[in-house]
């Protein structure tokens, strides 16, 4: 039901709104590609926060900007995917 | 001391050369000493848009390699006092010029001219790097299309990486009727995405093709809408407060546009 309503509204969306939406998404990806240091910065900050609570394997930590299906499954959206192996919990987390 | 402005876009065919020709002519008509440099080595076109193609003897690379003196290569436009063109060579490679040589040339020209406008080639490689090397300011041209806005965003990032701060935006080929019915991104939409200051909006106007056919920039044509838009940009460039042209867009949008611009500081 909700899908039907959503698709009804979608058809009425003007082509400039479609253009704007697509541009915004593609630019998120483009802009992150411009500086490779960007992900390193994000990575460093995430490690700092998580280390307050858990012991993590910094060596095999992997962070990527990729695309994934949106919740309605109809288009691709950018996503930050982090794979952080945990070695153990710290006392503060208990 | 003059000012060096690079006119760039990333994407080809959005109106860099036309804009360079029109702004340069507009400034000269206002009594400024102007030189236009075509940096599109191998694919020069500013000469034909200006109607000066038959007067080329020497070019940019001749100057840089010392084959001739700078004065010899500058073509004086006989129609507009103070307007000069330094054409690009048609048979050389982009690597014939380095950014350091361009910077030196721009510094030299600044001594004598009020404005040095650089017509940048499409792309982000050597030609782009040469074109921006000596620039104090940059105007980024886009059209209301996804591909052109995307490339403009990339160019803005690269300009900032090369420490050319606060580039200003020209949106070219706007069609008010399409914006009105929601089939073209509005100026507001584009500014929202690119987050830079606007210096002008140029409507889609067939007079541009007609004037290019004749080799006479539209800026001198009193009846051309695009010509009026270029005259407005020229005046803003010279520090005047000129409102953005009414392209028959709805009132609300236009007033929002004006608010966004804040031309007091321009």
What are the residue boundaries of the structural domains of chain B, listed by start?
3-265
Q: Is residue A77 part of a domain?
A: yes
Q: Is residue A13 part of a domain?
A: no
In chain B, residues with a C-beta closer than 8 Å to the C-beta of A22 are 146
Residue B157 sits at the chain A interface (C-beta within 8 Å)? yes
Tell me the per-residue pLDDT of A4-48, one tens digit each, with 9 for 90 and over: 665 655 556 899 999 999 999 888 878 876 556 777 888 888 888
Q: What is the ipTM of this complex?
A: 0.77
Please state, in angstroms and rounded to a whole number, the distance separating the CA atoms of residues B214 and B28: 19
Size of the A and B interface in Cβ pairs below 8 Å:
40
How far apart are the two ends of chain A, measured CA to CA in Å?
44
CA Rg value for chain B: 18
Residue A22 sits at the chain B interface (C-beta within 8 Å)? yes
pLDDT range class, residue B250, cuts 50, 70, 90? very low
- Residue A90 in 3-state DSSP? coil
Residue B193 sits at the chain A interface (C-beta within 8 Å)? yes
In chain A, the number of structural domains is 1
Please state, in angstroms and rounded to a whole number, the distance separating the CA atoms of residues B240 and B19: 19
Q: Is residue A27 part of a domain?
A: no
Residue A29 sits at the chain B interface (C-beta within 8 Å)? no
In chain B, residues with a C-beta closer than 8 Å to the C-beta of A24 are 193
pLDDT score at A40: 80
B158 Cα distance to chain centroid: 17
Q: How far is A16 from chain B (nearest CA, A)?
A: 5
Chain B interface, mutation test: which of A11, A17, A23, most B Cβ atoms within 10 Å? A23
Tell me the per-residue pLDDT of B83-107, one tens digit each, with 9 for 90 and over: 999 999 999 988 999 999 999 999 9
Contact A34 B157 (CB under 8 A): yes
Q: Which residues pair with A56 in a beta bridge?
A: A86
CB B120 within 8 A of CB B114: no
Contact A19 B181 (CB under 8 A): no
- Residue A82 in 3-state DSSP? strand
Query: For the domain with range B3-265, which CATH number is right: 3.40.1670.10, 2.60.200.20, 3.40.50.300, 3.30.70.890?
Result: 3.40.50.300
β B198-203/B168-174 pair status: parallel
Q: Is residue A85 part of a domain?
A: yes
Domain that holds residue A94: 37-94
Q: Is residue A48 part of a domain?
A: yes
Q: Which is nearest to B103 in space by CA: B116, B87, B84, B89? A: B116
Please state, in angstroms and rounded to a whole number, the distance separating the CA atoms of residues B234 and B242: 10
Output the CA angle B41-B47-B51, nearest 5 degrees. 170
pLDDT score at B256: 54
Q: Is residue A16 part of a domain?
A: no
Q: Is the pLDDT of residue B120 over 70?
A: yes
């Amino acid at each position: 039901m909700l899908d039907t309503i959503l698709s009804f509204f979608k058809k009425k969306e003007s082509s400039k709104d479609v253009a704007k939406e697509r541009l915004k998404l593609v630019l998120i990806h483009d802009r992150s590609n411009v500086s490779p240091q960007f992900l390193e910065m994000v990575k460093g900050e995430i490690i700092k926060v998580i280390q307050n609570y858990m012991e993590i394997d910094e060596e095999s930590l992997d962070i990527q900007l990729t695309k994934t299906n949106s919740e309605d499954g109809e288009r691709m959206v950018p996503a930050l995917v982090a794979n952080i192996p945990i070695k153990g919990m710290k006392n503060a987390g208990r | 001391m003059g000012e060096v402005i690079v006119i760039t876009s990333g994407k080809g065919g959005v109106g860099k050369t036309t804009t360079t020709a029109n702004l340069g002519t507009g400034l000269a008509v206002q009594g400024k000493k102007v030189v236009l440099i075509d940096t599109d080595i191998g694919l020069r076109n500013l000469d034909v848009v200006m109607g000066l193609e038959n007067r080329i003897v020497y070019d940019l690379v001749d100057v840089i390699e010392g084959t001739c003196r700078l004065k010899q290569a500058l073509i004086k436009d006989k129609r507009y006092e103070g307007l000069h063109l330094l054409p690009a060579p048609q048979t050389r490679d982009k690597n014939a010029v380095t950014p350091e040589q361009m910077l030196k040339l721009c510094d030299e020209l600044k001594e004598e001219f009020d404005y040095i406008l650089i017509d940048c080639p499409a792309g982000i490689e050597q030609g782009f790097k040469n074109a921006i090397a000596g620039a104090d300011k940059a105007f980024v041209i886009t059209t209301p299309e996804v591909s052109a806005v995307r490339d403009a965003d990339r160019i803005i990032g690269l300009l900032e990486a090369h420490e050319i701060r606060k580039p200003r935006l020209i949106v070219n080929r706007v069609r008010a009727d399409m914006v009105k019915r929601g089939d073209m991104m509005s100026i507001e939409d584009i500014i929202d995405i690119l987050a830079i200051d606007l210096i002008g909006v140029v409507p889609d106007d067939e007079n541009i093709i007609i004037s290019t056919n004749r080799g006479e920039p539209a800026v001198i044509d009193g009846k051309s809408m695009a010509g009026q838009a270029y005259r407005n940009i020229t005046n803003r460039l010279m520090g005047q407060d000129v409102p953005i042209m009414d392209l028959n867009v709805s009132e609300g949008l236009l007033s929002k546009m004006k608010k966004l611009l804040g031309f007091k500081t321009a």
